[in-house]
Structure 1
Amino acid sequence: ADAIVACSGSTSSEGRDRSSLRLDQHDFLVGLAESMVSWREHVSFESGSGDVSAPPPLIVVAMAPGSVLTDWAAAADAAMLMFLAGEQTGEAWADVLLGDVNPTGKLPLTLPAREEDMVAPCVLVECEYTEGLHVGWRALIDKDVQFPFGWGLSYSTFEYGWEGEPALRTEDAMLALSVRVTNVGSRAGADVVQCYVQFPEATGEPTLVLRDFVKTAVLPQGGSAMVTFKLRSRDLSVWRKEGWQLVSGEGIYIHVGSSSRSLQLTKGPIVL
Protein backbone atom coordinates (compact mmCIF):
# COMPACT_ATOMS: atom_id res chain seq x y z
CA ALA A 1 0.00 0.00 0.00
CA ASP A 2 1.13 3.57 -0.69
CA ALA A 3 -0.47 4.82 2.53
CA ILE A 4 -2.76 3.81 5.38
CA VAL A 5 -5.75 6.13 5.82
CA ALA A 6 -7.53 5.63 9.15
CA CYS A 7 -10.96 7.29 9.34
CA SER A 8 -12.58 8.35 12.59
CA GLY A 9 -15.30 10.57 13.98
CA SER A 10 -17.29 11.61 17.02
CA THR A 11 -21.01 11.00 17.41
CA SER A 12 -22.92 13.97 18.79
CA SER A 13 -26.35 15.57 18.71
CA GLU A 14 -28.06 18.80 19.66
CA GLY A 15 -29.96 17.08 22.45
CA ARG A 16 -27.06 16.03 24.64
CA ASP A 17 -23.42 16.71 25.43
CA ARG A 18 -20.68 14.27 24.55
CA SER A 19 -19.67 12.03 27.43
CA SER A 20 -15.96 12.50 26.65
CA LEU A 21 -13.57 14.10 24.17
CA ARG A 22 -12.52 10.75 22.75
CA LEU A 23 -13.29 9.95 19.14
CA ASP A 24 -15.56 6.93 18.66
CA GLN A 25 -12.53 5.07 17.30
CA HIS A 26 -10.10 6.40 19.92
CA ASP A 27 -8.96 3.00 21.21
CA PHE A 28 -8.51 1.72 17.67
CA LEU A 29 -6.39 4.75 16.71
CA VAL A 30 -4.24 4.40 19.84
CA GLY A 31 -3.68 0.72 19.09
CA LEU A 32 -2.90 1.47 15.46
CA ALA A 33 -0.43 4.17 16.49
CA GLU A 34 1.32 1.78 18.89
CA SER A 35 1.52 -0.85 16.14
CA MET A 36 3.08 1.65 13.73
CA VAL A 37 5.67 2.65 16.33
CA SER A 38 6.56 -1.01 16.93
CA TRP A 39 6.77 -1.65 13.19
CA ARG A 40 9.14 1.29 12.69
CA GLU A 41 11.31 0.23 15.62
CA HIS A 42 11.49 -3.29 14.22
CA VAL A 43 12.50 -1.98 10.79
CA SER A 44 15.17 0.17 12.39
CA PHE A 45 16.51 -2.79 14.37
CA GLU A 46 16.47 -5.10 11.35
CA SER A 47 17.66 -2.50 8.84
CA GLY A 48 20.78 -4.45 8.02
CA SER A 49 18.98 -7.66 7.02
CA GLY A 50 16.94 -6.23 4.16
CA ASP A 51 14.08 -8.63 4.96
CA VAL A 52 11.73 -6.15 6.63
CA SER A 53 9.88 -3.51 4.64
CA ALA A 54 9.19 -0.08 6.09
CA PRO A 55 5.57 0.70 7.00
CA PRO A 56 3.60 2.96 4.66
CA PRO A 57 2.72 6.45 5.91
CA LEU A 58 -0.17 6.58 8.39
CA ILE A 59 -2.75 9.31 7.72
CA VAL A 60 -5.54 9.86 10.25
CA VAL A 61 -8.65 11.76 9.16
CA ALA A 62 -11.20 12.73 11.78
CA MET A 63 -14.55 14.49 11.85
CA ALA A 64 -15.68 16.10 15.09
CA PRO A 65 -18.08 18.76 16.41
CA GLY A 66 -15.44 20.33 18.67
CA SER A 67 -12.31 19.60 20.69
CA VAL A 68 -11.10 15.99 20.75
CA LEU A 69 -8.21 14.08 22.29
CA THR A 70 -5.41 13.41 19.81
CA ASP A 71 -2.85 11.41 21.80
CA TRP A 72 -2.61 9.09 18.79
CA ALA A 73 -1.40 11.89 16.49
CA ALA A 74 2.30 11.70 17.40
CA ALA A 75 2.61 8.32 15.67
CA ALA A 76 0.81 9.48 12.52
CA ASP A 77 2.64 10.88 9.51
CA ALA A 78 -0.28 13.24 8.94
CA ALA A 79 -3.45 14.08 10.87
CA MET A 80 -6.44 15.95 9.48
CA LEU A 81 -9.42 17.26 11.44
CA MET A 82 -12.61 18.55 9.86
CA PHE A 83 -15.62 19.98 11.61
CA LEU A 84 -19.16 20.23 10.17
CA ALA A 85 -18.33 20.79 6.50
CA GLY A 86 -21.67 19.99 4.88
CA GLU A 87 -22.43 18.23 1.62
CA GLN A 88 -18.96 18.83 0.13
CA THR A 89 -17.18 16.97 2.95
CA GLY A 90 -16.05 14.07 0.77
CA GLU A 91 -14.77 16.34 -2.00
CA ALA A 92 -12.83 18.42 0.54
CA TRP A 93 -11.17 15.34 2.05
CA ALA A 94 -10.15 14.08 -1.39
CA ASP A 95 -8.79 17.45 -2.54
CA VAL A 96 -6.46 17.74 0.46
CA LEU A 97 -5.46 14.07 0.66
CA LEU A 98 -4.52 13.97 -3.03
CA GLY A 99 -2.69 17.30 -2.90
CA ASP A 100 -5.06 19.08 -5.30
CA VAL A 101 -5.65 21.82 -2.72
CA ASN A 102 -3.11 23.39 -0.41
CA PRO A 103 -4.86 23.54 3.01
CA THR A 104 -5.22 26.87 4.80
CA GLY A 105 -7.52 25.91 7.70
CA LYS A 106 -6.75 27.06 11.24
CA LEU A 107 -8.14 25.61 14.46
CA PRO A 108 -10.99 27.69 15.96
CA LEU A 109 -10.32 25.95 19.28
CA THR A 110 -7.58 24.16 21.20
CA LEU A 111 -7.03 20.40 21.14
CA PRO A 112 -6.04 19.66 24.75
CA ALA A 113 -3.40 17.29 26.03
CA ARG A 114 -5.70 16.08 28.82
CA GLU A 115 -9.46 15.91 29.09
CA GLU A 116 -9.36 17.18 32.69
CA ASP A 117 -7.92 20.50 31.46
CA MET A 118 -11.27 21.31 29.85
CA VAL A 119 -14.47 22.50 31.56
CA ALA A 120 -16.80 19.51 31.71
CA PRO A 121 -20.52 19.92 30.90
CA CYS A 122 -22.70 20.55 33.95
CA VAL A 123 -25.61 18.13 34.41
CA LEU A 124 -27.16 19.90 37.39
CA VAL A 125 -30.24 22.11 37.29
CA GLU A 126 -28.18 25.09 38.42
CA CYS A 127 -24.58 25.44 37.27
CA GLU A 128 -21.97 27.86 38.58
CA TYR A 129 -19.13 28.74 36.26
CA THR A 130 -16.29 30.68 37.87
CA GLU A 131 -13.75 30.92 35.06
CA GLY A 132 -14.94 34.38 33.96
CA LEU A 133 -13.28 35.40 30.70
CA HIS A 134 -10.89 32.45 30.78
CA VAL A 135 -13.06 30.15 28.68
CA GLY A 136 -12.26 27.92 25.73
CA TRP A 137 -8.76 28.32 24.34
CA ARG A 138 -8.01 31.25 26.67
CA ALA A 139 -8.19 28.93 29.67
CA LEU A 140 -5.43 26.76 28.17
CA ILE A 141 -2.87 29.44 27.29
CA ASP A 142 -0.54 28.47 30.14
CA LYS A 143 -1.04 24.70 29.82
CA ASP A 144 0.52 22.06 27.62
CA VAL A 145 -1.75 21.23 24.70
CA GLN A 146 -1.61 18.96 21.67
CA PHE A 147 -2.53 21.63 19.11
CA PRO A 148 -3.15 25.29 20.02
CA PHE A 149 -5.85 27.71 18.93
CA GLY A 150 -5.19 29.08 15.44
CA TRP A 151 -2.84 26.24 14.48
CA GLY A 152 -2.86 24.63 11.03
CA LEU A 153 -0.39 23.20 8.53
CA SER A 154 0.13 24.03 4.88
CA TYR A 155 2.20 22.59 2.06
CA SER A 156 3.85 26.04 1.97
CA THR A 157 5.99 27.99 4.45
CA PHE A 158 5.47 31.67 5.22
CA GLU A 159 7.57 34.42 6.76
CA TYR A 160 6.27 37.64 8.33
CA GLY A 161 7.80 41.10 8.61
CA TRP A 162 6.50 44.48 9.73
CA GLU A 163 5.64 46.91 6.97
CA GLY A 164 6.27 50.35 8.43
CA GLU A 165 5.32 51.58 11.89
CA PRO A 166 1.92 51.31 13.60
CA ALA A 167 -0.43 54.21 12.84
CA LEU A 168 -2.56 55.66 15.65
CA ARG A 169 -5.99 57.20 15.12
CA THR A 170 -6.23 56.88 11.36
CA GLU A 171 -9.37 57.71 9.39
CA ASP A 172 -10.84 54.21 9.80
CA ALA A 173 -8.98 52.71 12.76
CA MET A 174 -7.77 53.48 16.27
CA LEU A 175 -4.61 51.49 15.50
CA ALA A 176 -3.46 50.17 12.11
CA LEU A 177 -0.59 47.74 11.61
CA SER A 178 0.67 46.27 8.34
CA VAL A 179 2.56 43.02 7.84
CA ARG A 180 4.37 41.65 4.79
CA VAL A 181 3.67 37.93 4.27
CA THR A 182 6.10 36.04 2.00
CA ASN A 183 5.74 32.50 0.69
CA VAL A 184 9.21 30.97 1.16
CA GLY A 185 8.00 27.44 0.42
CA SER A 186 8.20 25.46 -2.79
CA ARG A 187 4.47 25.53 -3.57
CA ALA A 188 1.83 28.21 -4.07
CA GLY A 189 -0.40 28.69 -1.05
CA ALA A 190 -2.40 31.09 1.12
CA ASP A 191 -2.01 31.87 4.80
CA VAL A 192 -4.26 33.10 7.61
CA VAL A 193 -2.40 35.77 9.59
CA GLN A 194 -3.66 36.38 13.14
CA CYS A 195 -3.49 39.50 15.30
CA TYR A 196 -3.66 39.20 19.10
CA VAL A 197 -3.84 41.96 21.71
CA GLN A 198 -2.16 41.63 25.09
CA PHE A 199 -3.77 44.00 27.60
CA PRO A 200 -2.11 45.12 30.84
CA GLU A 201 -2.44 42.50 33.57
CA ALA A 202 -4.43 44.88 35.78
CA THR A 203 -7.36 44.81 33.32
CA GLY A 204 -8.09 41.17 34.20
CA GLU A 205 -8.25 40.18 30.54
CA PRO A 206 -6.90 36.82 29.32
CA THR A 207 -3.23 36.81 28.37
CA LEU A 208 -4.07 36.98 24.67
CA VAL A 209 -7.22 38.13 22.89
CA LEU A 210 -7.72 37.53 19.16
CA ARG A 211 -8.78 40.81 17.60
CA ASP A 212 -8.38 40.27 13.85
CA PHE A 213 -7.22 37.82 11.20
CA VAL A 214 -6.65 38.11 7.45
CA LYS A 215 -6.41 35.40 4.82
CA THR A 216 -4.05 36.22 1.99
CA ALA A 217 -4.63 35.47 -1.64
CA VAL A 218 -2.83 32.41 -3.03
CA LEU A 219 0.82 33.44 -3.18
CA PRO A 220 3.23 31.87 -5.68
CA GLN A 221 6.62 30.61 -4.56
CA GLY A 222 8.57 33.70 -3.52
CA GLY A 223 5.48 35.89 -3.74
CA SER A 224 4.35 38.25 -1.01
CA ALA A 225 1.37 40.32 0.04
CA MET A 226 0.74 43.05 2.57
CA VAL A 227 -2.05 42.57 5.10
CA THR A 228 -3.30 45.39 7.32
CA PHE A 229 -5.00 45.01 10.67
CA LYS A 230 -7.35 47.90 11.42
CA LEU A 231 -8.18 47.76 15.11
CA ARG A 232 -11.15 49.83 16.21
CA SER A 233 -11.59 51.52 19.57
CA ARG A 234 -13.69 48.57 20.76
CA ASP A 235 -10.92 46.12 19.81
CA LEU A 236 -8.65 47.97 22.23
CA SER A 237 -11.22 48.29 25.00
CA VAL A 238 -12.34 46.17 27.94
CA TRP A 239 -15.88 45.74 29.26
CA ARG A 240 -16.87 47.38 32.50
CA LYS A 241 -20.27 47.95 34.11
CA GLU A 242 -20.36 51.37 32.51
CA GLY A 243 -19.70 49.90 29.06
CA TRP A 244 -16.63 49.55 26.83
CA GLN A 245 -13.59 51.46 28.10
CA LEU A 246 -10.53 52.17 25.97
CA VAL A 247 -7.31 50.98 27.62
CA SER A 248 -5.36 54.23 27.62
CA GLY A 249 -2.48 55.40 29.73
CA GLU A 250 -1.00 51.90 29.94
CA GLY A 251 0.86 50.16 27.15
CA ILE A 252 -0.63 47.28 25.19
CA TYR A 253 1.23 44.75 23.08
CA ILE A 254 0.27 43.55 19.62
CA HIS A 255 1.33 40.05 18.55
CA VAL A 256 1.07 38.73 15.00
CA GLY A 257 1.59 35.13 13.96
CA SER A 258 0.31 31.93 12.44
CA SER A 259 -1.28 30.66 15.67
CA SER A 260 -1.78 31.66 19.30
CA ARG A 261 1.54 29.95 20.13
CA SER A 262 3.50 30.88 17.05
CA LEU A 263 3.72 34.66 17.29
CA GLN A 264 6.50 35.82 15.03
CA LEU A 265 6.02 39.59 15.44
CA THR A 266 5.46 41.82 18.48
CA LYS A 267 4.96 45.56 18.87
CA GLY A 268 4.75 47.34 22.18
CA PRO A 269 4.21 48.75 24.57
CA ILE A 270 1.85 50.99 22.59
CA VAL A 271 0.14 53.76 24.57
CA LEU A 272 -3.19 54.82 23.09
Structure 2
Amino acid sequence: MTSDTPASSLLTRDLAEINKLVTEQDDNSFYHHPLWSERWSHPEFIGHYSNNWLKAPWIKQTKRRTTRFLYPSVDSKFPWGYIIYRTVYTAESDELWPIAMDKLAKVINYSIDSDFLAEIQYKEPEDPEPDADAERLVKETHKDVIFSDKQFWDGASTEQVRQHFSEYLRASKGRGTGRFEGCLLIDERSLKSIVASPDPQPWVKGRRTKKPSQPWGFIGMIDGRYPENRYEPRYTGYMRVEIFSLWNLYTALTFRYMQELCPSVPDGLIPVYDSGTGKAQDEEGNVFPTAADRTTRIF
Protein backbone atom coordinates (compact mmCIF):
# COMPACT_ATOMS: atom_id res chain seq x y z
CA MET A 1 0.00 0.00 0.00
CA THR A 2 1.46 3.33 -1.07
CA SER A 3 1.23 6.12 1.48
CA ASP A 4 1.57 9.79 0.54
CA THR A 5 1.69 11.96 3.64
CA PRO A 6 2.92 15.49 2.90
CA ALA A 7 3.68 18.04 5.61
CA SER A 8 0.31 19.66 4.95
CA SER A 9 -2.60 18.44 2.85
CA LEU A 10 -2.98 20.08 -0.52
CA LEU A 11 -6.72 19.64 -0.29
CA THR A 12 -8.72 21.16 2.55
CA ARG A 13 -12.45 21.01 3.06
CA ASP A 14 -12.78 24.05 0.79
CA LEU A 15 -14.68 23.08 -2.37
CA ALA A 16 -13.22 26.00 -4.34
CA GLU A 17 -9.71 24.78 -3.51
CA ILE A 18 -10.57 21.29 -4.74
CA ASN A 19 -12.07 22.65 -7.97
CA LYS A 20 -8.84 24.53 -8.72
CA LEU A 21 -6.75 21.38 -8.34
CA VAL A 22 -8.89 18.63 -9.83
CA THR A 23 -8.35 19.01 -13.56
CA GLU A 24 -6.94 15.64 -14.53
CA GLN A 25 -10.00 13.41 -14.92
CA ASP A 26 -10.44 11.86 -18.36
CA ASP A 27 -10.62 8.33 -19.75
CA ASN A 28 -7.49 8.70 -21.86
CA SER A 29 -4.92 9.27 -19.13
CA PHE A 30 -3.87 7.52 -15.95
CA TYR A 31 -5.55 8.66 -12.76
CA HIS A 32 -3.72 11.35 -10.82
CA HIS A 33 -4.57 12.96 -7.51
CA PRO A 34 -3.22 16.39 -6.52
CA LEU A 35 -1.75 14.87 -3.33
CA TRP A 36 0.70 12.86 -5.45
CA SER A 37 3.88 14.76 -6.21
CA GLU A 38 4.45 12.78 -9.42
CA ARG A 39 2.23 11.16 -11.99
CA TRP A 40 2.01 7.40 -11.82
CA SER A 41 3.84 5.37 -14.46
CA HIS A 42 4.69 1.73 -15.12
CA PRO A 43 7.05 0.25 -17.73
CA GLU A 44 4.38 -2.17 -18.97
CA PHE A 45 1.75 0.56 -19.42
CA ILE A 46 3.24 2.33 -22.41
CA GLY A 47 1.69 2.90 -25.81
CA HIS A 48 -1.02 0.43 -26.81
CA TYR A 49 -0.16 -1.80 -23.88
CA SER A 50 -3.47 -3.70 -23.90
CA ASN A 51 -2.68 -4.98 -27.39
CA ASN A 52 0.38 -6.73 -25.93
CA TRP A 53 -1.79 -8.40 -23.33
CA LEU A 54 -3.74 -10.20 -26.07
CA LYS A 55 -0.65 -12.35 -26.60
CA ALA A 56 -0.15 -13.10 -22.90
CA PRO A 57 -1.10 -16.55 -21.51
CA TRP A 58 -3.11 -15.04 -18.65
CA ILE A 59 -5.55 -13.21 -20.95
CA LYS A 60 -7.42 -16.48 -21.58
CA GLN A 61 -7.64 -17.38 -17.89
CA THR A 62 -10.86 -15.44 -17.40
CA LYS A 63 -12.02 -17.20 -14.23
CA ARG A 64 -9.71 -14.93 -12.28
CA ARG A 65 -10.86 -11.53 -11.06
CA THR A 66 -7.48 -10.02 -11.90
CA THR A 67 -7.76 -10.92 -15.59
CA ARG A 68 -11.27 -9.51 -15.83
CA PHE A 69 -10.13 -6.33 -14.06
CA LEU A 70 -7.16 -5.71 -16.35
CA TYR A 71 -8.90 -6.32 -19.67
CA PRO A 72 -10.81 -4.66 -21.19
CA SER A 73 -10.18 -1.34 -19.47
CA VAL A 74 -9.52 2.36 -19.89
CA ASP A 75 -6.37 4.19 -18.87
CA SER A 76 -8.13 6.10 -16.09
CA LYS A 77 -8.69 2.82 -14.21
CA PHE A 78 -4.96 2.78 -13.39
CA PRO A 79 -3.49 3.06 -10.86
CA TRP A 80 -6.36 1.60 -8.87
CA GLY A 81 -6.89 2.15 -5.18
CA TYR A 82 -9.03 3.75 -2.50
CA ILE A 83 -9.20 7.23 -1.01
CA ILE A 84 -8.38 6.74 2.68
CA TYR A 85 -8.84 9.15 5.60
CA ARG A 86 -6.94 8.72 8.86
CA THR A 87 -8.92 10.27 11.73
CA VAL A 88 -6.93 9.18 14.81
CA TYR A 89 -3.72 10.96 15.86
CA THR A 90 -2.46 9.79 19.25
CA ALA A 91 1.01 8.70 20.32
CA GLU A 92 -0.18 5.09 20.17
CA SER A 93 -1.71 5.51 16.70
CA ASP A 94 1.55 7.03 15.42
CA GLU A 95 3.28 3.77 16.37
CA LEU A 96 0.50 1.57 14.99
CA TRP A 97 -0.06 3.42 11.70
CA PRO A 98 2.95 2.03 9.76
CA ILE A 99 2.26 -1.44 11.15
CA ALA A 100 -1.36 -1.21 9.99
CA MET A 101 -0.37 0.05 6.52
CA ASP A 102 2.08 -2.83 6.12
CA LYS A 103 -0.53 -5.37 7.29
CA LEU A 104 -3.15 -3.89 4.97
CA ALA A 105 -0.82 -4.16 1.97
CA LYS A 106 0.05 -7.79 2.77
CA VAL A 107 -3.59 -8.81 3.20
CA ILE A 108 -4.72 -7.08 0.00
CA ASN A 109 -1.92 -8.74 -1.98
CA TYR A 110 -2.89 -12.06 -0.40
CA SER A 111 -6.47 -11.51 -1.54
CA ILE A 112 -5.34 -10.61 -5.06
CA ASP A 113 -3.45 -13.92 -5.27
CA SER A 114 -6.39 -16.01 -4.04
CA ASP A 115 -8.06 -16.64 -7.43
CA PHE A 116 -4.74 -17.60 -8.99
CA LEU A 117 -3.99 -20.02 -6.17
CA ALA A 118 -7.47 -21.52 -6.40
CA GLU A 119 -6.86 -22.12 -10.09
CA ILE A 120 -3.71 -24.04 -9.17
CA GLN A 121 -5.66 -26.07 -6.62
CA TYR A 122 -8.39 -27.11 -9.06
CA LYS A 123 -6.29 -27.42 -12.21
CA GLU A 124 -6.98 -30.48 -14.32
CA PRO A 125 -3.96 -32.36 -15.70
CA GLU A 126 -4.75 -31.23 -19.24
CA ASP A 127 -5.14 -27.55 -18.26
CA PRO A 128 -2.26 -25.15 -19.01
CA GLU A 129 -0.18 -23.90 -16.10
CA PRO A 130 -1.74 -20.72 -14.68
CA ASP A 131 0.26 -17.56 -15.41
CA ALA A 132 0.64 -15.17 -12.43
CA ASP A 133 1.46 -12.06 -14.46
CA ALA A 134 -2.09 -10.71 -14.11
CA GLU A 135 -1.81 -10.81 -10.32
CA ARG A 136 1.62 -9.18 -10.48
CA LEU A 137 0.30 -6.34 -12.63
CA VAL A 138 -2.67 -5.74 -10.34
CA LYS A 139 -0.42 -5.58 -7.27
CA GLU A 140 2.02 -3.24 -9.02
CA THR A 141 -0.77 -0.87 -10.12
CA HIS A 142 -2.19 -0.35 -6.62
CA LYS A 143 -1.80 3.19 -5.28
CA ASP A 144 -4.10 4.73 -2.67
CA VAL A 145 -4.79 8.38 -1.91
CA ILE A 146 -4.17 8.84 1.82
CA PHE A 147 -5.30 11.88 3.78
CA SER A 148 -3.16 11.78 6.90
CA ASP A 149 -2.97 15.30 8.26
CA LYS A 150 -3.69 15.95 11.94
CA GLN A 151 -4.56 19.59 11.29
CA PHE A 152 -7.61 18.68 9.22
CA TRP A 153 -8.59 15.13 10.16
CA ASP A 154 -7.91 14.58 13.87
CA GLY A 155 -11.20 13.30 15.28
CA ALA A 156 -13.10 14.02 12.06
CA SER A 157 -16.61 12.57 12.03
CA THR A 158 -18.10 10.32 9.39
CA GLU A 159 -20.14 13.26 8.08
CA GLN A 160 -17.09 15.55 7.85
CA VAL A 161 -15.23 12.92 5.83
CA ARG A 162 -18.31 12.32 3.68
CA GLN A 163 -18.60 16.04 2.92
CA HIS A 164 -14.98 16.30 1.81
CA PHE A 165 -15.21 13.14 -0.30
CA SER A 166 -18.51 14.29 -1.84
CA GLU A 167 -16.94 17.60 -2.83
CA TYR A 168 -14.09 15.75 -4.49
CA LEU A 169 -16.54 13.57 -6.41
CA ARG A 170 -18.41 16.62 -7.69
CA ALA A 171 -15.19 18.36 -8.68
CA SER A 172 -13.62 15.35 -10.38
CA LYS A 173 -16.81 13.96 -11.96
CA GLY A 174 -15.27 10.56 -11.29
CA ARG A 175 -17.32 7.44 -11.86
CA GLY A 176 -17.02 3.81 -12.76
CA THR A 177 -14.24 2.55 -10.45
CA GLY A 178 -14.14 1.57 -6.80
CA ARG A 179 -12.16 4.72 -6.02
CA PHE A 180 -15.22 6.88 -6.66
CA GLU A 181 -17.94 4.74 -5.09
CA GLY A 182 -16.79 4.92 -1.48
CA CYS A 183 -13.88 6.22 0.60
CA LEU A 184 -12.28 4.43 3.54
CA LEU A 185 -12.00 5.77 7.09
CA ILE A 186 -9.46 4.52 9.62
CA ASP A 187 -10.36 5.50 13.17
CA GLU A 188 -8.94 4.10 16.42
CA ARG A 189 -11.09 0.94 16.41
CA SER A 190 -10.38 0.03 12.81
CA LEU A 191 -6.67 0.85 13.18
CA LYS A 192 -6.35 -1.57 16.11
CA SER A 193 -8.41 -4.24 14.33
CA ILE A 194 -6.12 -4.06 11.29
CA VAL A 195 -3.02 -4.45 13.46
CA ALA A 196 -4.63 -7.41 15.27
CA SER A 197 -5.45 -9.18 11.98
CA PRO A 198 -3.62 -12.43 11.30
CA ASP A 199 -0.61 -12.44 9.03
CA PRO A 200 -1.46 -14.07 5.70
CA GLN A 201 -0.48 -17.73 5.75
CA PRO A 202 1.55 -19.22 2.89
CA TRP A 203 -0.20 -21.23 0.21
CA VAL A 204 0.94 -24.73 -0.72
CA LYS A 205 -0.41 -26.13 -4.00
CA GLY A 206 -3.26 -23.66 -3.92
CA ARG A 207 -4.23 -24.35 -0.30
CA ARG A 208 -3.66 -22.35 2.84
CA THR A 209 -1.37 -24.17 5.24
CA LYS A 210 -3.67 -23.37 8.16
CA LYS A 211 -6.79 -21.40 9.00
CA PRO A 212 -6.19 -17.84 10.30
CA SER A 213 -6.04 -17.78 14.08
CA GLN A 214 -7.93 -14.46 14.30
CA PRO A 215 -10.72 -12.86 12.26
CA TRP A 216 -9.78 -10.24 9.70
CA GLY A 217 -9.81 -6.65 10.86
CA PHE A 218 -12.17 -4.07 9.44
CA ILE A 219 -12.08 -0.61 7.94
CA GLY A 220 -14.91 1.91 7.57
CA MET A 221 -16.39 2.81 4.18
CA ILE A 222 -18.43 5.94 3.42
CA ASP A 223 -20.74 6.48 0.47
CA GLY A 224 -20.00 9.96 -0.89
CA ARG A 225 -23.26 10.01 -2.86
CA TYR A 226 -25.48 9.38 0.17
CA PRO A 227 -28.31 10.29 0.66
CA GLU A 228 -28.96 11.34 -2.95
CA ASN A 229 -28.97 7.77 -4.28
CA ARG A 230 -30.59 6.17 -1.24
CA TYR A 231 -33.41 3.75 -2.02
CA GLU A 232 -33.29 1.39 1.00
CA PRO A 233 -34.73 2.81 4.26
CA ARG A 234 -32.13 1.15 6.53
CA TYR A 235 -29.18 2.23 4.41
CA THR A 236 -27.08 4.87 6.17
CA GLY A 237 -24.28 5.34 3.64
CA TYR A 238 -21.76 3.65 5.94
CA MET A 239 -20.48 0.12 6.41
CA ARG A 240 -17.37 -1.72 7.54
CA VAL A 241 -15.31 -3.89 5.24
CA GLU A 242 -13.23 -6.89 6.25
CA ILE A 243 -9.76 -6.05 5.00
CA PHE A 244 -9.41 -9.35 3.13
CA SER A 245 -12.45 -8.28 1.04
CA LEU A 246 -11.13 -4.86 -0.03
CA TRP A 247 -9.89 -6.16 -3.41
CA ASN A 248 -13.12 -8.06 -4.11
CA LEU A 249 -15.16 -5.02 -3.15
CA TYR A 250 -13.16 -2.69 -5.38
CA THR A 251 -13.84 -4.81 -8.45
CA ALA A 252 -17.52 -5.17 -7.54
CA LEU A 253 -17.84 -1.38 -7.23
CA THR A 254 -16.78 -1.05 -10.85
CA PHE A 255 -20.33 -1.94 -11.91
CA ARG A 256 -22.41 -1.68 -8.73
CA TYR A 257 -23.21 0.99 -6.18
CA MET A 258 -22.08 0.70 -2.57
CA GLN A 259 -25.72 0.55 -1.47
CA GLU A 260 -26.26 -2.58 -3.57
CA LEU A 261 -23.36 -4.33 -1.81
CA CYS A 262 -24.01 -3.15 1.74
CA PRO A 263 -25.50 -5.96 3.90
CA SER A 264 -28.89 -5.35 5.50
CA VAL A 265 -28.62 -5.60 9.30
CA PRO A 266 -30.89 -4.89 12.27
CA ASP A 267 -31.21 -1.30 13.47
CA GLY A 268 -28.44 -0.25 15.83
CA LEU A 269 -25.82 -2.55 14.28
CA ILE A 270 -23.16 -1.85 11.67
CA PRO A 271 -23.20 -3.72 8.34
CA VAL A 272 -19.95 -5.47 7.41
CA TYR A 273 -19.04 -6.43 3.85
CA ASP A 274 -17.18 -9.77 3.72
CA SER A 275 -17.52 -10.79 0.04
CA GLY A 276 -20.45 -12.98 1.05
CA THR A 277 -23.78 -12.41 2.76
CA GLY A 278 -22.21 -9.96 5.19
CA LYS A 279 -22.14 -9.59 8.95
CA ALA A 280 -23.56 -7.31 11.64
CA GLN A 281 -21.29 -5.73 14.26
CA ASP A 282 -21.63 -3.38 17.18
CA GLU A 283 -19.20 -0.48 17.63
CA GLU A 284 -16.67 -2.70 19.42
CA GLY A 285 -16.57 -5.26 16.62
CA ASN A 286 -18.65 -7.97 18.28
CA VAL A 287 -20.48 -9.96 15.60
CA PHE A 288 -24.21 -10.61 15.89
CA PRO A 289 -26.46 -13.00 13.99
CA THR A 290 -28.23 -11.93 10.81
CA ALA A 291 -30.67 -13.84 8.63
CA ALA A 292 -27.74 -15.67 7.03
CA ASP A 293 -25.55 -15.95 10.13
CA ARG A 294 -27.18 -17.29 13.31
CA THR A 295 -24.12 -17.41 15.58
CA THR A 296 -22.65 -14.65 17.74
CA ARG A 297 -18.86 -14.33 17.64
CA ILE A 298 -16.52 -12.04 19.51
CA PHE A 299 -13.59 -10.28 17.81
Relative to the length of structure 2, the TM-score reads 0.28
Give the strand-richer structure, 1 or 2: 1
Relative to the length of structure 1, the TM-score reads 0.30
Give the helix-richer structure, 1 or 2: 2
Structure number with the bigger relative contact order (C-alpha 8 A, sep ≥ 6) is 2
